[in-house]
Amino acid sequence: MGLTELAIYIVKIVGVLAWVYGLLWVLGRQSWPVKIAGLILAWAIPQLALTPIGGVQVLNGFDNNLLLDASAVAMLCLGLNLIYGFNGQFSLGQYGFYGIGAYTAADITFKWVNRDASGLFVAAIGVIVGGAMILGLQRFLSSRFKGMPVMSQLTLYLIGAVVSGVIAVWIGNICARALAPAFGTEANPSGLVGLPVQNVVLFLAVLIGGAFAAEVSFLFGLPVLTLGSDYFGIATLGFAIVVQTLMVNTDTLLPFPEMKGGRGMIGIPTLTTWTWAFVFLVAIVIVMRNLIYSSTGRAMMSVREDETAAKSMGIDVARYKLLAFVIGSMFAGIGGGIYAHYIGFLSPATFSFIAGFNPLIIIVFGGLGSMTGTLMASYGWMFFLEGLLRVLLGQLGPDAPTWRYVLYPIALLLLMLLRPQGLLGTTEWGFLKAPKAALRSAEEPQAAAAPAAK
Protein backbone atom coordinates (compact mmCIF):
# COMPACT_ATOMS: atom_id res chain seq x y z
CA MET A 1 0.00 0.00 0.00
CA GLY A 2 1.47 3.31 -1.12
CA LEU A 3 1.13 6.65 0.61
CA THR A 4 -1.71 7.66 -1.69
CA GLU A 5 -3.73 4.52 -0.91
CA LEU A 6 -2.99 4.96 2.81
CA ALA A 7 -4.19 8.56 2.74
CA ILE A 8 -7.37 7.55 0.89
CA TYR A 9 -8.13 4.84 3.42
CA ILE A 10 -7.60 7.23 6.34
CA VAL A 11 -10.02 9.65 4.67
CA LYS A 12 -12.54 6.81 4.41
CA ILE A 13 -12.22 6.08 8.13
CA VAL A 14 -12.66 9.75 9.02
CA GLY A 15 -15.64 9.91 6.66
CA VAL A 16 -17.32 6.91 8.30
CA LEU A 17 -16.87 8.37 11.79
CA ALA A 18 -18.18 11.73 10.55
CA TRP A 19 -21.19 9.88 9.14
CA VAL A 20 -21.92 8.42 12.61
CA TYR A 21 -21.80 11.93 14.08
CA GLY A 22 -24.09 13.22 11.32
CA LEU A 23 -26.59 10.41 11.90
CA LEU A 24 -26.82 11.22 15.62
CA TRP A 25 -27.11 14.94 14.84
CA VAL A 26 -29.95 14.31 12.38
CA LEU A 27 -31.85 12.04 14.79
CA GLY A 28 -31.66 14.79 17.40
CA ARG A 29 -33.52 17.38 15.31
CA GLN A 30 -36.93 18.47 16.62
CA SER A 31 -38.53 19.05 13.23
CA TRP A 32 -39.89 15.83 11.76
CA PRO A 33 -39.45 16.91 8.10
CA VAL A 34 -35.79 17.73 8.82
CA LYS A 35 -35.33 14.47 10.71
CA ILE A 36 -36.85 12.34 7.93
CA ALA A 37 -34.92 14.15 5.21
CA GLY A 38 -31.74 13.76 7.25
CA LEU A 39 -32.31 10.04 7.72
CA ILE A 40 -32.83 9.58 3.98
CA LEU A 41 -29.60 11.50 3.37
CA ALA A 42 -27.77 9.44 6.02
CA TRP A 43 -28.86 6.28 4.20
CA ALA A 44 -28.15 7.67 0.74
CA ILE A 45 -24.56 8.84 1.30
CA PRO A 46 -23.09 5.37 2.00
CA GLN A 47 -25.39 3.85 -0.64
CA LEU A 48 -24.04 6.25 -3.29
CA ALA A 49 -20.48 5.62 -2.09
CA LEU A 50 -21.03 1.88 -2.63
CA THR A 51 -22.53 2.37 -6.11
CA PRO A 52 -20.22 2.65 -9.15
CA ILE A 53 -20.94 5.98 -10.87
CA GLY A 54 -19.12 6.74 -14.09
CA GLY A 55 -16.58 4.02 -13.36
CA VAL A 56 -15.78 5.53 -9.93
CA GLN A 57 -16.69 3.73 -6.68
CA VAL A 58 -15.76 5.43 -3.41
CA LEU A 59 -16.28 2.34 -1.25
CA ASN A 60 -15.26 -0.96 -2.84
CA GLY A 61 -16.49 -4.47 -2.07
CA PHE A 62 -14.08 -4.85 0.84
CA ASP A 63 -15.33 -1.57 2.33
CA ASN A 64 -18.93 -2.74 1.83
CA ASN A 65 -18.20 -5.88 3.88
CA LEU A 66 -16.60 -3.77 6.60
CA LEU A 67 -19.59 -1.40 6.66
CA LEU A 68 -22.13 -4.22 7.01
CA ASP A 69 -19.98 -6.05 9.55
CA ALA A 70 -19.52 -2.85 11.58
CA SER A 71 -23.28 -2.27 11.61
CA ALA A 72 -23.93 -5.79 12.91
CA VAL A 73 -21.17 -5.43 15.51
CA ALA A 74 -22.62 -2.07 16.60
CA MET A 75 -25.96 -3.76 17.35
CA LEU A 76 -24.15 -6.51 19.26
CA CYS A 77 -22.09 -4.01 21.27
CA LEU A 78 -25.02 -1.72 22.05
CA GLY A 79 -26.67 -4.73 23.66
CA LEU A 80 -23.57 -5.53 25.69
CA ASN A 81 -23.22 -1.89 26.77
CA LEU A 82 -26.80 -2.00 28.03
CA ILE A 83 -25.98 -5.11 30.09
CA TYR A 84 -22.54 -4.07 31.33
CA GLY A 85 -22.16 -0.33 30.83
CA PHE A 86 -25.63 0.75 31.97
CA ASN A 87 -26.73 -2.13 34.21
CA GLY A 88 -23.34 -3.17 35.59
CA GLN A 89 -23.50 -6.92 34.83
CA PHE A 90 -20.17 -8.21 33.50
CA SER A 91 -21.05 -10.61 30.67
CA LEU A 92 -18.90 -12.74 28.38
CA GLY A 93 -21.78 -14.54 26.71
CA GLN A 94 -22.90 -11.89 24.23
CA TYR A 95 -21.35 -13.69 21.28
CA GLY A 96 -23.41 -16.76 22.18
CA PHE A 97 -26.64 -14.80 21.66
CA TYR A 98 -25.13 -13.26 18.52
CA GLY A 99 -24.64 -16.81 17.21
CA ILE A 100 -28.13 -17.91 18.26
CA GLY A 101 -29.67 -15.05 16.29
CA ALA A 102 -27.43 -15.75 13.30
CA TYR A 103 -28.17 -19.47 13.10
CA THR A 104 -31.91 -19.03 13.76
CA ALA A 105 -32.37 -16.39 11.06
CA ALA A 106 -30.13 -18.27 8.61
CA ASP A 107 -32.04 -21.52 9.03
CA ILE A 108 -35.35 -19.78 8.31
CA THR A 109 -34.20 -18.16 5.06
CA PHE A 110 -32.15 -21.21 3.98
CA LYS A 111 -35.21 -23.44 4.18
CA TRP A 112 -37.41 -20.83 2.52
CA VAL A 113 -35.23 -20.47 -0.59
CA ASN A 114 -35.25 -24.28 -0.76
CA ARG A 115 -39.06 -24.18 -0.82
CA ASP A 116 -39.54 -25.27 2.78
CA ALA A 117 -41.58 -22.96 5.01
CA SER A 118 -41.24 -25.09 8.14
CA GLY A 119 -38.35 -23.01 9.48
CA LEU A 120 -40.37 -19.80 9.37
CA PHE A 121 -43.59 -21.25 10.77
CA VAL A 122 -41.99 -23.32 13.52
CA ALA A 123 -39.71 -20.49 14.67
CA ALA A 124 -42.43 -17.82 14.50
CA ILE A 125 -45.00 -19.91 16.37
CA GLY A 126 -42.31 -20.98 18.83
CA VAL A 127 -41.28 -17.44 19.82
CA ILE A 128 -44.91 -16.27 19.99
CA VAL A 129 -46.10 -19.17 22.12
CA GLY A 130 -42.89 -19.11 24.17
CA GLY A 131 -43.21 -15.39 24.79
CA ALA A 132 -46.84 -15.76 25.80
CA MET A 133 -45.85 -18.61 28.13
CA ILE A 134 -43.14 -16.51 29.80
CA LEU A 135 -45.42 -13.50 30.28
CA GLY A 136 -48.30 -15.65 31.50
CA LEU A 137 -46.16 -17.55 34.00
CA GLN A 138 -44.60 -14.31 35.22
CA ARG A 139 -48.01 -12.83 35.96
CA PHE A 140 -49.27 -16.04 37.54
CA LEU A 141 -46.24 -16.49 39.80
CA SER A 142 -46.15 -12.84 40.86
CA SER A 143 -49.83 -12.88 41.83
CA ARG A 144 -50.16 -16.36 43.38
CA PHE A 145 -46.69 -17.55 44.41
CA LYS A 146 -44.67 -14.45 45.17
CA GLY A 147 -41.32 -15.39 46.68
CA MET A 148 -41.08 -18.79 45.01
CA PRO A 149 -37.44 -20.01 44.84
CA VAL A 150 -35.70 -19.20 41.57
CA MET A 151 -34.93 -22.82 40.70
CA SER A 152 -38.59 -23.78 41.17
CA GLN A 153 -39.56 -20.94 38.84
CA LEU A 154 -36.97 -22.09 36.31
CA THR A 155 -38.43 -25.61 36.37
CA LEU A 156 -41.86 -24.28 35.47
CA TYR A 157 -40.43 -22.09 32.72
CA LEU A 158 -38.48 -25.02 31.25
CA ILE A 159 -41.60 -27.20 31.23
CA GLY A 160 -43.44 -24.37 29.53
CA ALA A 161 -40.61 -24.01 26.98
CA VAL A 162 -40.77 -27.71 26.11
CA VAL A 163 -44.56 -27.57 25.70
CA SER A 164 -44.22 -24.43 23.56
CA GLY A 165 -41.64 -26.18 21.38
CA VAL A 166 -43.86 -29.21 20.85
CA ILE A 167 -46.81 -26.99 19.92
CA ALA A 168 -44.64 -24.94 17.54
CA VAL A 169 -43.27 -28.01 15.75
CA TRP A 170 -46.72 -29.58 15.43
CA ILE A 171 -48.58 -26.50 14.16
CA GLY A 172 -45.61 -25.19 12.16
CA ASN A 173 -45.18 -28.40 10.18
CA ILE A 174 -48.91 -28.52 9.43
CA CYS A 175 -48.77 -24.94 8.09
CA ALA A 176 -45.61 -25.69 6.08
CA ARG A 177 -47.17 -28.75 4.43
CA ALA A 178 -50.26 -26.74 3.55
CA LEU A 179 -48.11 -24.03 1.90
CA ALA A 180 -45.73 -26.43 0.13
CA PRO A 181 -47.71 -26.69 -3.17
CA ALA A 182 -47.65 -22.88 -3.51
CA PHE A 183 -43.85 -22.93 -3.89
CA GLY A 184 -44.08 -24.69 -7.24
CA THR A 185 -41.37 -27.04 -8.41
CA GLU A 186 -37.62 -26.70 -8.69
CA ALA A 187 -37.94 -26.36 -12.44
CA ASN A 188 -40.85 -23.94 -12.20
CA PRO A 189 -40.71 -22.09 -8.83
CA SER A 190 -43.43 -19.65 -7.85
CA GLY A 191 -43.11 -16.07 -6.77
CA LEU A 192 -42.77 -17.19 -3.13
CA VAL A 193 -39.07 -17.81 -3.71
CA GLY A 194 -38.61 -14.53 -5.55
CA LEU A 195 -36.40 -11.75 -4.20
CA PRO A 196 -39.23 -9.50 -2.88
CA VAL A 197 -40.70 -12.30 -0.77
CA GLN A 198 -37.23 -13.37 0.34
CA ASN A 199 -36.66 -9.88 1.73
CA VAL A 200 -39.92 -10.05 3.67
CA VAL A 201 -38.82 -13.41 5.06
CA LEU A 202 -35.41 -11.90 5.92
CA PHE A 203 -37.11 -9.14 7.92
CA LEU A 204 -39.18 -11.68 9.84
CA ALA A 205 -36.21 -14.02 10.28
CA VAL A 206 -34.04 -11.30 11.84
CA LEU A 207 -36.82 -10.31 14.25
CA ILE A 208 -37.45 -13.96 15.14
CA GLY A 209 -33.72 -14.51 15.68
CA GLY A 210 -33.64 -11.57 18.09
CA ALA A 211 -36.77 -12.75 19.90
CA PHE A 212 -35.44 -16.29 20.23
CA ALA A 213 -32.13 -15.02 21.63
CA ALA A 214 -34.11 -12.91 24.13
CA GLU A 215 -36.17 -15.88 25.30
CA VAL A 216 -33.09 -18.08 25.69
CA SER A 217 -31.42 -15.28 27.67
CA PHE A 218 -34.45 -15.12 29.96
CA LEU A 219 -34.24 -18.84 30.76
CA PHE A 220 -30.48 -18.63 31.26
CA GLY A 221 -30.47 -15.36 33.17
CA LEU A 222 -33.27 -16.20 35.60
CA PRO A 223 -31.05 -18.35 37.88
CA VAL A 224 -27.64 -16.99 36.88
CA LEU A 225 -28.33 -13.31 37.54
CA THR A 226 -28.73 -14.11 41.22
CA LEU A 227 -24.94 -14.58 41.29
CA GLY A 228 -22.50 -11.76 41.91
CA SER A 229 -21.07 -9.89 38.94
CA ASP A 230 -17.79 -11.88 38.79
CA TYR A 231 -19.54 -15.25 39.05
CA PHE A 232 -22.09 -14.09 36.52
CA GLY A 233 -19.27 -13.33 34.09
CA ILE A 234 -17.87 -16.85 34.51
CA ALA A 235 -21.34 -18.35 34.01
CA THR A 236 -21.88 -16.39 30.79
CA LEU A 237 -18.48 -17.55 29.54
CA GLY A 238 -19.61 -21.12 30.16
CA PHE A 239 -22.83 -20.38 28.28
CA ALA A 240 -20.87 -19.15 25.24
CA ILE A 241 -18.82 -22.37 25.25
CA VAL A 242 -21.98 -24.50 25.48
CA VAL A 243 -23.58 -22.62 22.58
CA GLN A 244 -20.51 -23.10 20.39
CA THR A 245 -20.41 -26.81 21.26
CA LEU A 246 -24.05 -27.15 20.21
CA MET A 247 -23.23 -25.35 16.96
CA VAL A 248 -20.49 -27.87 16.25
CA ASN A 249 -23.01 -30.69 16.78
CA THR A 250 -26.10 -29.26 15.09
CA ASP A 251 -26.13 -32.18 12.64
CA THR A 252 -25.74 -34.86 15.31
CA LEU A 253 -27.10 -33.78 18.70
CA LEU A 254 -29.62 -31.34 17.20
CA PRO A 255 -32.05 -32.04 14.34
CA PHE A 256 -30.59 -29.50 11.92
CA PRO A 257 -28.57 -31.37 9.27
CA GLU A 258 -28.65 -28.32 6.99
CA MET A 259 -26.34 -26.50 9.44
CA LYS A 260 -23.64 -29.16 8.87
CA GLY A 261 -22.17 -28.89 12.37
CA GLY A 262 -18.47 -28.10 12.56
CA ARG A 263 -18.15 -27.96 8.77
CA GLY A 264 -20.18 -24.76 8.74
CA MET A 265 -23.52 -23.80 7.23
CA ILE A 266 -23.40 -22.88 3.54
CA GLY A 267 -26.03 -21.74 1.09
CA ILE A 268 -27.38 -18.91 3.25
CA PRO A 269 -28.96 -16.32 0.92
CA THR A 270 -26.89 -13.12 0.98
CA LEU A 271 -29.83 -10.77 1.41
CA THR A 272 -28.32 -8.22 3.78
CA THR A 273 -27.87 -4.89 2.07
CA TRP A 274 -26.89 -1.49 3.39
CA THR A 275 -30.60 -0.64 3.57
CA TRP A 276 -31.39 -3.52 5.92
CA ALA A 277 -28.33 -2.85 8.09
CA PHE A 278 -29.22 0.86 8.31
CA VAL A 279 -32.88 0.22 9.18
CA PHE A 280 -32.15 -2.22 11.99
CA LEU A 281 -29.27 -0.15 13.38
CA VAL A 282 -31.32 3.06 13.53
CA ALA A 283 -34.24 1.16 15.12
CA ILE A 284 -31.99 -0.27 17.84
CA VAL A 285 -30.37 3.12 18.51
CA ILE A 286 -33.80 4.75 18.90
CA VAL A 287 -35.14 1.98 21.15
CA MET A 288 -32.07 1.95 23.36
CA ARG A 289 -31.90 5.73 23.70
CA ASN A 290 -35.56 5.97 24.70
CA LEU A 291 -35.15 3.05 27.10
CA ILE A 292 -32.11 4.55 28.84
CA TYR A 293 -33.80 7.90 29.47
CA SER A 294 -37.06 6.36 30.69
CA SER A 295 -37.90 5.50 34.29
CA THR A 296 -37.02 1.88 33.45
CA GLY A 297 -33.59 2.94 32.21
CA ARG A 298 -32.94 5.02 35.31
CA ALA A 299 -33.84 2.01 37.45
CA MET A 300 -31.36 -0.10 35.46
CA MET A 301 -28.61 2.44 36.02
CA SER A 302 -29.40 2.67 39.72
CA VAL A 303 -28.69 -1.07 39.96
CA ARG A 304 -25.29 -0.42 38.42
CA GLU A 305 -24.47 2.34 40.88
CA ASP A 306 -25.50 0.59 44.11
CA GLU A 307 -27.74 -2.47 44.39
CA THR A 308 -28.31 -1.99 48.12
CA ALA A 309 -29.41 1.61 47.68
CA ALA A 310 -31.64 0.63 44.77
CA LYS A 311 -33.34 -2.05 46.88
CA SER A 312 -33.87 0.43 49.71
CA MET A 313 -35.69 2.71 47.25
CA GLY A 314 -38.09 -0.08 46.30
CA ILE A 315 -36.49 -1.06 43.00
CA ASP A 316 -36.79 -4.75 42.08
CA VAL A 317 -33.10 -5.37 41.37
CA ALA A 318 -33.56 -8.92 40.02
CA ARG A 319 -36.26 -7.76 37.61
CA TYR A 320 -34.22 -4.93 36.13
CA LYS A 321 -31.10 -7.08 35.85
CA LEU A 322 -33.07 -9.66 33.91
CA LEU A 323 -34.77 -7.04 31.75
CA ALA A 324 -31.46 -5.45 30.73
CA PHE A 325 -29.98 -8.87 30.01
CA VAL A 326 -32.95 -9.92 27.83
CA ILE A 327 -33.05 -6.68 25.82
CA GLY A 328 -29.28 -6.65 25.33
CA SER A 329 -29.39 -10.26 24.13
CA MET A 330 -32.21 -9.41 21.72
CA PHE A 331 -30.04 -6.68 20.16
CA ALA A 332 -27.24 -9.23 19.78
CA GLY A 333 -29.60 -11.71 18.11
CA ILE A 334 -30.76 -9.09 15.62
CA GLY A 335 -27.15 -8.20 14.83
CA GLY A 336 -26.42 -11.91 14.31
CA GLY A 337 -29.27 -12.20 11.78
CA ILE A 338 -27.87 -9.25 9.81
CA TYR A 339 -24.37 -10.75 9.93
CA ALA A 340 -25.48 -14.20 8.72
CA HIS A 341 -27.14 -12.82 5.59
CA TYR A 342 -24.25 -10.66 4.50
CA ILE A 343 -21.52 -13.26 5.04
CA GLY A 344 -23.51 -16.20 3.57
CA PHE A 345 -21.62 -18.78 5.63
CA LEU A 346 -21.68 -19.60 9.33
CA SER A 347 -18.93 -21.50 11.11
CA PRO A 348 -18.99 -22.37 14.83
CA ALA A 349 -15.40 -21.09 15.02
CA THR A 350 -16.72 -17.59 14.33
CA PHE A 351 -18.59 -17.64 17.64
CA SER A 352 -15.81 -18.97 19.86
CA PHE A 353 -15.49 -17.62 23.39
CA ILE A 354 -12.21 -15.97 22.34
CA ALA A 355 -14.07 -13.91 19.73
CA GLY A 356 -16.55 -13.05 22.48
CA PHE A 357 -13.98 -10.70 23.99
CA ASN A 358 -14.18 -8.41 20.92
CA PRO A 359 -17.45 -6.67 21.88
CA LEU A 360 -16.17 -6.23 25.43
CA ILE A 361 -13.01 -4.54 24.11
CA ILE A 362 -15.09 -2.32 21.82
CA ILE A 363 -17.39 -0.99 24.55
CA VAL A 364 -14.42 -0.40 26.86
CA PHE A 365 -12.65 1.49 24.08
CA GLY A 366 -15.68 3.64 23.38
CA GLY A 367 -16.62 4.14 27.01
CA LEU A 368 -18.84 2.12 29.33
CA GLY A 369 -22.22 3.77 29.59
CA SER A 370 -21.83 5.69 26.31
CA MET A 371 -23.99 4.75 23.32
CA THR A 372 -22.07 7.24 21.17
CA GLY A 373 -18.76 5.69 22.21
CA THR A 374 -20.03 2.23 21.30
CA LEU A 375 -21.10 3.34 17.82
CA MET A 376 -17.84 5.19 17.13
CA ALA A 377 -15.70 2.35 18.46
CA SER A 378 -17.63 -0.28 16.47
CA TYR A 379 -17.10 1.46 13.14
CA GLY A 380 -13.57 2.54 14.06
CA TRP A 381 -12.70 -1.02 15.13
CA MET A 382 -13.81 -2.51 11.83
CA PHE A 383 -12.40 0.10 9.48
CA PHE A 384 -9.11 0.66 11.28
CA LEU A 385 -8.16 -2.54 13.07
CA GLU A 386 -9.90 -5.10 10.84
CA GLY A 387 -9.52 -3.05 7.66
CA LEU A 388 -6.51 -0.74 7.45
CA LEU A 389 -4.32 -2.58 9.94
CA ARG A 390 -4.97 -5.95 8.32
CA VAL A 391 -4.05 -4.56 4.89
CA LEU A 392 -0.90 -2.89 6.21
CA LEU A 393 0.26 -6.02 8.03
CA GLY A 394 -0.57 -8.05 4.94
CA GLN A 395 2.18 -6.21 3.12
CA LEU A 396 4.72 -7.80 5.48
CA GLY A 397 3.78 -11.40 4.73
CA PRO A 398 0.87 -13.86 4.65
CA ASP A 399 1.01 -14.52 8.40
CA ALA A 400 1.58 -10.92 9.47
CA PRO A 401 -2.16 -9.97 9.79
CA THR A 402 -2.46 -12.30 12.78
CA TRP A 403 -0.21 -9.89 14.67
CA ARG A 404 -3.19 -7.62 15.09
CA TYR A 405 -4.32 -9.98 17.86
CA VAL A 406 -1.15 -8.93 19.68
CA LEU A 407 -1.76 -5.25 19.02
CA TYR A 408 -5.35 -5.34 20.34
CA PRO A 409 -4.46 -6.14 23.96
CA ILE A 410 -1.52 -3.72 23.87
CA ALA A 411 -3.83 -0.95 22.69
CA LEU A 412 -6.36 -1.89 25.40
CA LEU A 413 -3.66 -1.85 28.06
CA LEU A 414 -2.47 1.60 26.98
CA LEU A 415 -6.05 2.87 26.98
CA MET A 416 -6.64 1.59 30.52
CA LEU A 417 -3.48 3.31 31.70
CA LEU A 418 -4.00 6.63 29.91
CA ARG A 419 -7.80 6.95 29.78
CA PRO A 420 -9.56 4.30 31.86
CA GLN A 421 -13.00 5.79 31.18
CA GLY A 422 -12.67 5.02 27.45
CA LEU A 423 -12.26 7.35 24.49
CA LEU A 424 -15.56 9.17 25.03
CA GLY A 425 -16.21 8.31 28.67
CA THR A 426 -19.94 8.81 29.22
CA THR A 427 -20.22 11.58 26.59
CA GLU A 428 -23.19 11.44 24.23
CA TRP A 429 -23.71 13.31 20.97
CA GLY A 430 -26.81 14.67 19.25
CA PHE A 431 -29.84 12.42 19.61
CA LEU A 432 -28.18 10.35 22.34
CA LYS A 433 -27.79 13.27 24.75
CA ALA A 434 -30.01 13.22 27.81
CA PRO A 435 -33.23 15.18 27.11
CA LYS A 436 -33.49 18.48 28.90
CA ALA A 437 -36.16 18.68 31.57
CA ALA A 438 -38.76 21.36 30.97
CA LEU A 439 -38.34 24.17 33.50
CA ARG A 440 -41.42 25.77 35.04
CA SER A 441 -41.56 29.52 34.83
CA ALA A 442 -41.63 31.62 37.98
CA GLU A 443 -45.23 32.75 37.21
CA GLU A 444 -46.66 29.22 37.14
CA PRO A 445 -46.58 28.54 40.90
CA GLN A 446 -48.06 31.99 41.61
CA ALA A 447 -50.81 31.44 39.05
CA ALA A 448 -51.59 28.05 40.59
CA ALA A 449 -51.60 29.48 44.12
CA ALA A 450 -53.90 32.42 43.28
CA PRO A 451 -57.20 30.44 43.08
CA ALA A 452 -56.30 28.61 46.29
CA ALA A 453 -55.93 31.94 48.12
CA LYS A 454 -59.52 32.85 47.30
Domains of the chain: residue spans and CATH: 3-115+184-434 (1.10.3470)
What 3-state class would DSSP assign to 14? helix
The pLDDT tens digits along the chain (454 residues) read: 567 777 888 888 899 999 999 999 999 988 999 999 999 999 999 999 988 887 778 888 888 999 999 999 999 999 999 999 999 898 988 999 999 999 999 999 999 999 999 999 999 999 999 999 999 999 988 888 777 888 889 999 999 999 999 999 999 999 999 999 998 877 788 888 889 999 999 999 999 999 999 999 999 999 998 877 678 889 999 999 999 999 999 888 888 889 988 899 999 999 999 999 999 999 999 999 999 999 999 999 999 888 889 998 889 898 999 999 999 999 999 999 999 999 999 999 889 888 888 898 899 889 889 999 999 999 988 888 777 777 776 666 666 566 667 777 787 788 888 888 888 888 889 899 888 765 565 555 555 555 554 4
Q: Residue 46: its pLDDT value, please?
A: 93
Helix (H) or strand (E) holding 405: helix 404-418
- Inter-residue contact 81 to 359 (CB < 8 Å): no
53 backbone dihedrals φ, ψ, rounded to 5°:
-125, 115
Q: Residue 450: its pLDDT value, please?
A: 54
Q: Residue 388: its pLDDT value, please?
A: 75
47 backbone dihedrals φ, ψ, rounded to 5°:
-60, -45
- Inter-residue contact 380 to 13 (CB < 8 Å): yes
Alpha-helical (H) ranges within 81-194 are: 94-113, 118-144, 150-179
Helix, strand, coil fractions of the chain, as percent rounded to 5: 75, 0, 25
Q: Residue 453: its pLDDT value, please?
A: 47
- 68: nearest Cα among 272, 215, 296: 272
- Beta strand residue intervals within 312-422, DSSP E: none
What 3-state class would DSSP assign to 184? strand
- Inter-residue contact 337 to 102 (CB < 8 Å): yes
Q: Residue 231: its pLDDT value, please?
A: 84
Alpha-helical (H) ranges within 255-351 are: 274-292, 295-305, 307-312, 317-343
